Amino acid sequence: MSTNRWLATGNFYTTYREEQRIFRTHLDRLLFSLFLVSLFAWPLLISASNRNMLVINNILIAVVAVYGLNLVTGFAGLISIGHAAFVGIGAYTLAGTARSIGESHVLITHAWPLMILISGFVGAAFGAFVGLPAMRLKHLYLAIATLSFQMIFTWTINFMTFFNQGQMISVGRVYWINGQVGRDEHYLFWYYVILVTAVFCGLGVRNLLRTRYGRCLVAVRDNDRAADAMGMHPGLTKVYAFALAGFFAGVAGALHTYMFRGAGFESFTLHHSIIYLAMAIVGGLGTLPGSLLGPVAIQILELQMEHISEWAGTFLTAAMNLATALRPLGFGRVTVLFLMFEPRGIANWWRICRSYFKLWPFRY
């Protein structure tokens, strides 16, 4: 390692330990800490409206879900067209519990961290089950398996009276140390909960990727026969990737249910699965910053689409149905353009930016 631990122009690793470091220099660590602190501190300085808080919370929930999708699609190379269904599994684990034991049961309102964790594990169990065909099959077939899981999930929720046939199932307000979380501080409270979850999940994923299990995923993506020859079990690794994705999705689903104080089937349709995929692609598959940047970009895009369709609605006929048209059009176009011209996503721009500053004043 270079003697200067604050700035390093280029990589000078001499041991594998150094290469696996999360923060290369003290400057990286400092900037990341500042970023985290600012994320935690800004609500104390600026008071955002409920509408804006809702958008921000949505982005953070999507970040947690996209961690999972990025693990399975980006790092393990298995396409999942049913990620919204896994998110839905988490949401309905919570909502189903609330429906059977009462929406204001102590378990729901006081032991909510436990419930979020349980939802995650149920999501993981379903993920592993859907990933089972991976023991014998390659990615194409797996993509279809996840798609069919999505269809089965939607049907089950719509059909079963236990799940209120897809209608909203409400969940009670939770309690914190100083009593029930009221209507005014609801979004702020959940902002902090989701933020802490997202940070822990992010650290978890980052650390997973430098353990043997994380490297296993990447090895299986790059060449599963070679990975097999190296003594890994490609099938089990894929099942385990799906289980991990299911876990993150389940956690995201439980957070979603708590934040909206209920779960309805319309948040977990095929359309949402495609949005999650778009987020992962636009952010950059197989990168951790991508899981953060993708949801932000897509949510901003969605807001802009809403603005445009509101503006256009003033002079267009209702039959044009612009509001429904613009969203798929926007997502599809962005996904395709990114795949064609920047397959490594926004994270690649981030990387280019970083290396520019890191190497300055040299070009390379």
Query: CB under 8 A: which stretch of 103-111, 126-134, 166-174, 234-242 binds other proteins?
Result: 126-134
For residues 204 and 64, is the Cβ–Cβ distance under 8 A?
no
Binding mask 53-72 for other proteins (x = CB under 8 A): --------------------
Contacts for 17 with CB less than 8 Å, ≥ 6 apart: none
* Contact indicator for 257, 94 with CB cutoff of 8 Å: yes
Among the listed residues 55, 107, 147, 168, the single contact to other proteins using CB under 8 A:
147
Number of residues that bind other proteins (CB under 8 A): 50
Nearer to other proteins, 73 or 119 (CB): 73
- How far is CA 178 from its chain centroid? 30
Task: Choose between 16 and 341: whose C-beta lies nearer to other proteins.
Answer: 341
Angstrom distance (rounded) from CA 113 to CA 128: 23
Contact yes or no for 238/141 (Cβ under 8 A): no
The yes or no reply on residue 79 touching other proteins (CB under 8 A) is yes
Residue 81 or 87 having the CB closest to other proteins: 81
Look up residue 336 and give its DSSP letter: H
Nearer to other proteins, 143 or 199 (CB): 143
Q: Which is nearer to other proteins, 36 or 329 (CB)?
A: 329
SS3 category, 23 = coil
- Single-letter residue type at 149: F
Q: How far apart are CA 299 and CA 276, in angstroms?
A: 11
Q: What span, in angstroms and rounded, lies between the C-alpha atoms of 226 and 240?
A: 18
74 or 96, CB closer to other proteins?
A: 74
Site track 265-294 with other proteins (rule: CB under 8 A), x = hit: -----x---x--xx--x-------------
Do the bridges between strand 179-180 and strand 175-176 make them parallel or antiparallel, or are there none, so unpaired?
Answer: antiparallel
Residue ranges in contact with other proteins by CB under 8 A = 73, 77, 79, 81, 130, 132-133, 136-137, 139-141, 143-145, 147-149, 151-152, 155-156, 158-159, 225, 229, 270, 274, 277-278, 281, 319-322, 324-333, 335-336, 339-340, 343
